[in-house]
Amino acid sequence: MDFGLSDEQKQLIESLRRFISQQAPLDTVRDVAKVNQGYDPDIHQDLVELGIYSILVPEEYGGAGLTFLDAAVVQETLAGGVVPSSYLGTGIIAPALFQAAGSDAQKAEWFPKISAGECRIGVGISELCGARAGAELTLNNGKLQGKVLSVIDAMVADTYLVAVGRDALALVDAKAPGLTVTQMTGIDRTRSLGELTFNDVTCERLGEPADASSALEQALIVGRIALAADTLGAAQEMLRRTLEYAQQREQFNRPIASFQSLKHLCADMAANLEPCRSLVWYAAHTVDQRPEEAALMACHVKAHLAEVGTMVARTSTEVFGGMGFTDLMGLHYWFKRIGFNRQVLGGPEHVRDEAAILQGWIPAHHAKGVAAYANY
Asked if 132 contacts 162 with a C-beta cutoff of 8 angstroms, the reply is no
pLDDT for residue 374: 40
* Phi and psi, residue 119, nearest 5°: -145, 155
Q: How many Cβ atoms are within 10 Å of 244's Cβ, its own excluded?
A: 11
Q: What is the pLDDT of residues 327-372, one digit of tens each?
A: 878 899 999 999 999 999 999 999 999 999 999 888 765 554 444 4
Strands 143-152 and 179-183: unpaired
Regions of the chain where pLDDT drops below 50: 1, 368-376
Q: Are strands 159-164 and 121-124 parallel, antiparallel or unpaired?
A: parallel
User: For residues 175 and 60, what is the distance between their CA atoms, to the nearest angstrom?
Assistant: 30
pLDDT at position 128: 85
pLDDT score recorded for residue 206: 92
Of the chain, the end-to-end C-alpha distance in Å amounts to: 38
CA angle 339, 345, 347 (to 5 degrees): 55
pLDDT of residue 347: 92
pLDDT at 204: 94
132 contacts 126 by C-beta, under 8 angstroms: yes
**Contact between 376 and 150 (Cβ < 8 Å):** yes
The confidence score (pLDDT) of residue 366 equals 56
Residue 330 DSSP code: -
SS3 153: coil
Cα gap 149→160, rounded to integer Å: 13
Cβ atoms of 313 and 336 closer than 8 Å: no
Q: Identify the pLDDT of residue 363.
A: 79
Q: For residue 6, which of 56, 66, 95 has the smallest C-alpha distance? A: 66
Chain CA centroid to CA 220, Å: 11
**Domains within the chain, CATH numbers bracketed:** 7-119 (1.10.540.10), 122-209 (2.40.110.10), 212-372 (1.20.140.10)
Q: How far apart are CA 136 and CA 220, in angstroms?
A: 19
What is the spatial distance between Cα 91 and Cα 96, in angstroms, rounded to a whole number?
9
Torsion, Cα of 263, 265, 267, 272 (10° steps): 180
Q: 137: left (phi > 0), else alpha (psi -120 to 50), else beta?
A: beta
CA angle 350, 351, 357 (to 5 degrees): 95
